[in-house]
Amino acid sequence: MTDITPVPYIWKNGSLVAWEDAQTHVLSHSLHYGSGVFEGIRCYENDTTHKSYVFRLRDHMERLARSCKIAAIDLPYSVDELVEATLEVLRANNLKKGYIRPLVYRGYGVMGVDPSGAPIDVIIAVWPWDAYLGAEALKHGIKVGVSSWRQRSNNAIPPAVKATASYMNSLLAKLEAKEHGYAEAVMLNEAGRVCEGTGENLFIVRNGALITPPLSDGLLEGITRDSVLQIAADMYEAEEIDVFPVEESLVRTDLYIADEMFMTGSAAELTPVASVDGREVGSGECGEVTAALQKRFFEIVAGDNEDYADWLTEV
């Protein structure tokens, strides 16, 4: 499910290098202190036209630049250059669909918590990658559990930065979830409000509303989350769904009594949740609203909906 299949090239510091030559020193600063930032992006192929599109590529690279600013990393490339580099490495590998991982990290040269003087390395790797949580998960949903690990606070590691250091938190929650037989974890913030998954935002359907926690509750400003909010508002206006999207704080019991629930992210895409802490959500399958949003999302990323063409960058 999450294994990496090598491709011929990785883009590193302005050039294409062979996959096996894209290496870094064991004393690189970010390896020891978690001082890197990254993105997760997907590329999709249209089954009919066989054209290939990257979903919201510029938005992802703009978020990467914002992460660098928050993390005090002097990004040596512009957003335009990173967009072009992404297309270059996809074309060089003849990759029509898969996952894209830009990473900015402090390399070899200094040691100690102070990163001053460490060189900045930038890579963009791509590889074939199917559904992150499995194809069956997209159809039937996953079992999740509320983690004992709390999400980091706004004044610890800011959620606006997609940092490598943040994912120690996610890693611990993910391992705990697996130990308990769950596919994913739901993390609460320090105030006990629902925050996000280990690498996903989340939504519930209840009382005629499609609800997702607000950014102020400490979650990453997810690009797929933002997309779903826009898609849902458009579908509600067109009377294609009967729930309106809102941002509202949630507690864990809201998840137990939700009519539907799903998780979103570049890796997870739009994955239904079948149960939370052993409590069935709705029918225990993919709900009606979830299915409608999922169908529209996959139409959009494949280039089959002209209304959202500006979200796609053709490879």
Q: What is the pLDDT of residue 133?
A: 79
Q: With 60 as the cut, is the pLDDT of residue 253 above it? A: yes
Work out the average pLDDT over 286-306: 97
- How does pLDDT run across 34-79, given as a tens digit for each residue? 999 999 999 999 999 999 999 999 999 999 999 999 999 999 999 9
Q: With 80 as the cut, is the pLDDT of residue 189 above it? A: yes
Q: What is the pLDDT of residue 28?
A: 97
Q: What is the pLDDT of residue 155?
A: 86
- How does pLDDT run across 132-156, given as a tens digit for each residue? 777 788 989 999 999 999 998 888 8
Residue-wise DSSP of 91-152: HHTT-SSEEEEEEEEE-TT--SS--TTPPEEEEEEEE----TT-HHHHHH-EEEEE-SSPPP
Which residues in the chain are classed under CATH 3.20.10.10? 135-304
| CATH number corresponding to 9-127 | 3.30.470.10
Work out the average pLDDT over 285-306: 97
Residues in a beta bridge with 101 = 125
Q: With 80 as the cut, is the pLDDT of residue 263 above it? A: yes
Rounded to the nearest 5°, which phi and psi values hold at 184? -145, 165
Q: List the catalytic residue out of 12, 97, 143, 162.
A: 162
Q: Where are the alpha helices (DSSP H) in 48-96?
A: 57-70, 79-92
Q: How confident is the model at residue 2 (pLDDT cuts 50, 70, 90)?
A: low
**Which of 125-139, 182-196, 227-241, 262-276 has the lowest average pLDDT?**
125-139
Q: What is the pLDDT of residue 114?
A: 95
Q: What is the pLDDT of residue 156?
A: 86
Q: Superfamily assignment of 135-304 in CATH?
A: D-amino Acid Aminotransferase, subunit A, domain 2 (3.20.10.10)
Among 100, 288, 272, smallest CA distance to 197 is for 272
Kindly give the pairing relationship between strand 15-18 and strand 9-12: antiparallel
The vertex-156 CA angle with 150 and 159, nearest 5°, equals: 75
Q: With 90 as the cut, is the pLDDT of residue 130 above it? A: no
Query: Which residue would you say has higher pLDDT here, 1 or 20?
Result: 20
**Which of 125-139, 176-190, 218-232, 295-309 has the lowest average pLDDT?**
125-139
Task: Indicate the pTM of the whole model.
Answer: 0.95
Q: What is the pLDDT of residue 115?
A: 95
Which residues in the chain are classed under CATH 3.30.470.10? 9-127
139 among known catalytic residues: no
- How does pLDDT run across 282-293, given as a tens digit for each residue? 999 999 999 999
Q: With 60 as the cut, is the pLDDT of residue 219 above it? A: yes
- Average pLDDT along the chain: 96
Q: With 70 as the cut, is the pLDDT of residue 173 above it? A: yes
